[in-house]
Copies of this chain bind each other. A is one copy, B any other.
Amino acid sequence: MNRRRFSRGLALLALTPSLPAFAQTAPPLRTNAGRLRKRLEDLSVFGRPAGGTFADGVSRTGFSDADVEAHAWLQREMRALGLEPKVDAAGNVSAVRPGTVPGLAPILFGSHIDSVRGGGNFDGDVGSMSSLEVMATLIEKKVATRHPLEYVVWAAEESNFGSGLHGSRMAAGLIEEGEFERVQNGVTKREAMKRLGGDASRIAEARRARGSFHAYLELHIEQGGKLDRAGVPIGVVEGIVTIDDYDVHVRGFANHAGTTPMAERRDALVAASQIVQAVQQIANGEAGAQVGTVGQMTVRPNAPNVVPGDVEMTVEFRDLDGAKVARLGAALKERCAQIAKASNTEVEVVFTSRHEGARATPSIQAAIEKAAASLSLNSMRLPSGAGHDAQAIATLGPMGMIFVPSVAGISHSPRELSRWNEIAQGADVLMATILELDASAPWTPGR
C-alpha cells in the first residue's frame, strides 16, 4: 500500500510536467542514457559482419541464427529487470509490469530487433532498447502506473518470406493467404517461425483483441532526413503511409542493335525509361508529401548489342491519404497506355498489393507533444513514409509513434546513424508520454 501511494505521487509528478513551479524545483524523470547505449551496443553483436565493428552494421534477418541469439539475449535482459518474458505463437516477446488500478488495459510499447540484410544498428533496435530502458527506469525509480505496462518486441518486422510486420500482423489477425507455406532458402515460414518459439498451428493464440490495450506507443528512428535537416529532436508521427505496389511489364521486341533501324525498333527499355520519367512527373504533379519510386528493373536479354525486348519494373506510390495513392496509380496506368501506343510496345500494369497505412490517434500525438515540451524538446509532426508494426497494431486500438532523427536520413544501411543524445531524448519522451497517457481515460473500441 505504501509503495502504491508513493508510486502514484511520482506518477503525478510526471503527469504534470507543465506545472512551471514544479518543473523548476524537480527535474523531469529521465532514462539512463549510458545504460541504453550499452544495451544497443550489446545487441549489435548479433549479426555483426565477421571482424566488423558497431559501425559495420548488422544482418539480423527475422528467424536467422543472429535473430534467435538476439531474442535469447533480450529475454535474459528482461529477466534481469525482474520481468517475465512470454513468447507467443508468432514469436513475439512481451512482459507485463502490473498497474495499480485493477481492470485497466495495459499501455503497450516496443518495437522490433530484426534487421534487413546489411542494415544498421538503429532501425527497430532504438525503439526496442529505449522501451526496455523505460521499463528499467520505472522499476529502478519505483514509479508505479495506474495501467499495466506491457513491453513487446515484435518478431520479424522486416520483409521476410514475402511480407513484413510478421509479429504485429499476427497479433492483429492480419494473416496473408498461404503465408506459412512460403519458402525462403529452402525452408517454409511455418518451420522458420519455430526458431523464435512461434507455432503456426496455434497462431490464433497470438491474436490480441480490439480494445485490449489502453494505447500502443512505438519509438523509432525516422529513416528519413526531415528531423535532422530541421534540427528538431522529436518527431510526432501523424500516421503511416499507405503503399500501393505495381508490377509493370513492358514487352517490345528484342533485335540486333546493329541491323535494326531506329524507326523500326520496339525497344522495351526506351519505353520503360519513359515510364520512370512518368512516375516522377506523377509524384511531383501535385502538392503534398507523396512519393513514387521505380526501385527494381530487369532488362532482357540485357546484352550491349541487342535492342531490349522485355523490361519488368516495380512502381510504388506512398502517401498518408489512401485515396491519393489510388489516384496516382490510375495516372500511372493512363500514362503507360500512352507510352505503349507511342513506342509500339505492350505495357501491362498489374496492381500487386496495398499496404494500408494508419493514422496516429490525435490524442496520443498531443500527449507526445506535451511530453516533449515537458522535457524542453522541440517537436514536429510528420508522416512516416516507412511501414511499422504500429500500423498493424493500430487496427486494434489507439496508436502513436515517436521519431528520433536519422543522420542524413540514411537507413537500411550500415551507415544508418542516430546520435546517442537524441536517442536518450527519444527514450525520455517515450517515458513521459507513457506517464501522460497513464493519466488519461480508457479507450473505448469504436471511438
Which residues of A are interface residues toward B (Cβ below 8 A)? 159, 222-226, 241, 243, 245, 254-262, 264, 267, 269-270, 272-274, 276-277, 280, 283-284, 289, 291-299, 302-308, 314, 316, 318, 384-387, 406, 409-413
Contacts and interface: CB of A to CB of B under 8 A. Distances in A.
B303 A296 contact: yes
A264 to B, nearest CB: 6
27 contacts: A222-B259, A223-B256, A223-B258, A224-B259, A226-B261, A241-B258, A243-B305, A245-B304, A256-B386, A257-B291, A257-B293, A257-B318, A259-B409, A260-B385, A261-B291, A267-B293, A274-B277, A293-B305, A294-B308, A295-B303, A295-B305, A295-B306, A295-B307, A296-B302, A297-B302, A304-B314, A305-B316
Contacts of A274: 273, 277
Contacts of A226: 261
Of listed A259, A274, A304, residue having the most chain B CB within 10 A: A259
A303 B312 CA distance: 12
Copies of this protein in the assembly total 2
Of listed A225, A276, A409, residue having the most chain B CB within 10 A: A276
Nearest to A123: B256
Contact of A261 (B224, B302, B387): B224
Contacts of A270: 276-277, 280, 294
A308 B269 CA distance: 16
Contact of A308 (B241, B295, B316): B295
Contacts of A413: 254-255
Contact of A264 (B245, B303, B409, B411): B409
A258 B387 contact: yes
B297 A269 contact: yes
Nearest to A241: B258
Contacts of A256: 223-224, 385-386, 409, 411-412
A412 B306 contact: yes
Contact of A411 (B159, B259, B267, B302): B259
A261 B289 contact: yes
Contacts of A245: 304
List the 9 shortest-distance A-B pairs measured between CB atoms, nearest first: A224-B259, A258-B385, A273-B273, A273-B276, A304-B314, A257-B293, A259-B385, A223-B259, A258-B386
Given A264-B409, A314-B304, A258 B243 contact: yes
A277 B284 contact: no
B257 A295 contact: yes
A436 B84 CA distance: 98
Contacts of A243: 258, 305
A274 B294 CA distance: 14
Contacts of A299: 296-297
Given A223-B256, A260-B409, 10 more contacts: A254-B413, A256-B385, A257-B318, A258-B384, A259-B406, A261-B289, A277-B277, A295-B304, A296-B303, A305-B316
A41 to B, nearest CB: 24
